[in-house]
Amino acid sequence: MSVGLIALLDDVAAIAKAAAASLDDVVAQAGRAGAKAAGVVIDDTAVTPRYVTGFSPARELPVIAKITLGSLKNKILFLLPAALILSLVLPGAITPLLMLGGLYLCYEGAEKVYELAFPHAAHAHEAELDAGSVDPKAFEDEKVAGAVRTDFILSAEIMAITLGSVPEAGLATQALVLAIVGIAITAGVYGVVALIVKADDVGLWLAQRSPPSQAGALPRMLGRGLVQGMPYLLKVLGAVGTAAMIWVGGGIIVHGAEAFGFGWPSHLLHDAGESAAHAIPAVGGLASWLVQAAGSGLIGIALGLAMIPTVSFAVAPAWRWCSTRIRKIRTA
């Protein structure tokens, strides 16, 4: 073998080692960035199941698949390039855009609270926004669209946190980290959602198919427990999801306001959290988080409730006009 060929192979080996090291570094950075976004991921997992209720069992997984595809499009096709472009060209626009998304989350969460407190008024408000179709396909499309809209806001927060975790990396590394985190989080969130939604079907299968012998007693009991317990779990997740939208939205607004010089709400919540941590040192971290989340939630619910009449008087007429035009185009 010639010396030149040996040198060439050495160069190829060196490039391969450098590429492998670079890939390991990207994966490590993606792991660290994903860990920082874990709070929003948990919120996303809690929020999503409420969009999959009301369907027949046969449509649950197809609906989750549609939402998963929409979530991937949100992250990879829209948010990833938008985050990179904005960070290069107009970094100051990221915070206001996130705050608008936070305001939308506050409105969505507050609307659910309003519905619980004033069901008749909430149904009237919902009717103003509803296109008025009872067609199953239209109902499914509306549910999927609502889930993808909410996912867009939560995904934007995830991608912003991820991008903020690798500020010094090159453009290619940032893109790879964003892509890895986006795909991994989407697969994790909607995989868990699918397991939650189909758990009652698994429980029914265990209860009906387990052998009648003593060996099948435990699977039958587990199956009955899943069937009986899942409706309550979904209700709890619905409540947690609503609360998550409110406190995440409120938190985005609070932190965004701090970037524009209105730091007193953030400082007030931080000081209250520190006081709670000192008051209960055994669970100081949890106490601090609960107090700050509650404060963000109060701000979020106030902003969301204020948005309801705004949407009714300003957004609803425009929404009805757009819906009418879309239906006319579809039927033409």
Q: Which of 215-224, 249-258, 288-297 has the lowest mean pLDDT?
A: 215-224
Closest CA to 125 of 110, 146, 145: 110
For the chain, give the percent of residues with pLDDT over 90. 25
pLDDT (tens digit per residue) in 71-110? 999 999 999 999 999 888 988 888 898 888 889 889 988 9
Please state, in angstroms and rounded to a whole number, the distance separating the CA atoms of residues 313 and 219.
Answer: 54
Amino acid at the residue 260: F
Buried b (16+ CB within 10 A) or exposed e, 201-217: eebbebbeebeeeeeee
More confident residue, 71 or 310: 71
Q: How confident is the model at residue 294 (pLDDT cuts 50, 70, 90)?
A: very high
Q: What is the mean pLDDT of residues 11-19?
A: 47
Q: How confident is the model at residue 231 (pLDDT cuts 50, 70, 90)?
A: confident
Please state, in angstroms and rounded to a whole number, the distance separating the CA atoms of residues 311 and 128.
Answer: 10
Q: Is pLDDT of 4 > 50?
A: no
Q: Is pLDDT of 23 > 60?
A: no
Residue with tokens 């012998």: 213
Q: Is pLDDT of 8 > 50?
A: no
Which tokens is 73 given?
A: 């499009």
More confident residue, 215 or 303: 303
Closest CA to 326 of 141, 62, 152: 141
Q: What is the mean pLDDT of residues 130-159?
A: 79
CB atoms near residue 3 (< 10 Å): 7
More confident residue, 13 or 25: 25
What confidence score (pLDDT) does residue 164 get?
A: 77
Q: Is pLDDT of 115 > 70?
A: yes
Q: What is the mean pLDDT of residues 54-69?
A: 88
Tell me the pLDDT of the chain averaged across its residues. 80
What confidence score (pLDDT) does residue 295 get?
A: 95
What confidence score (pLDDT) does residue 169 get?
A: 80
What confidence score (pLDDT) does residue 128 get?
A: 58
What confidence score (pLDDT) does residue 69 get?
A: 96
Q: Is pLDDT of 145 > 70?
A: yes
Please state, in angstroms and rounded to a whole number, the distance separating the CA atoms of residues 74 and 155.
Answer: 7
Q: Is the pTM of this model over 0.85?
A: no
pLDDT (tens digit per residue) in 28-58? 655 665 554 555 666 667 677 777 777 788 8
More confident residue, 287 or 11: 287
CB 74 within 8 A of CB 151: yes
What confidence score (pLDDT) does residue 65 get?
A: 94
Q: What is the mean pLDDT of residues 299-325?
A: 78
More confident residue, 133 or 221: 221
Q: Is pLDDT of 135 > 60?
A: yes
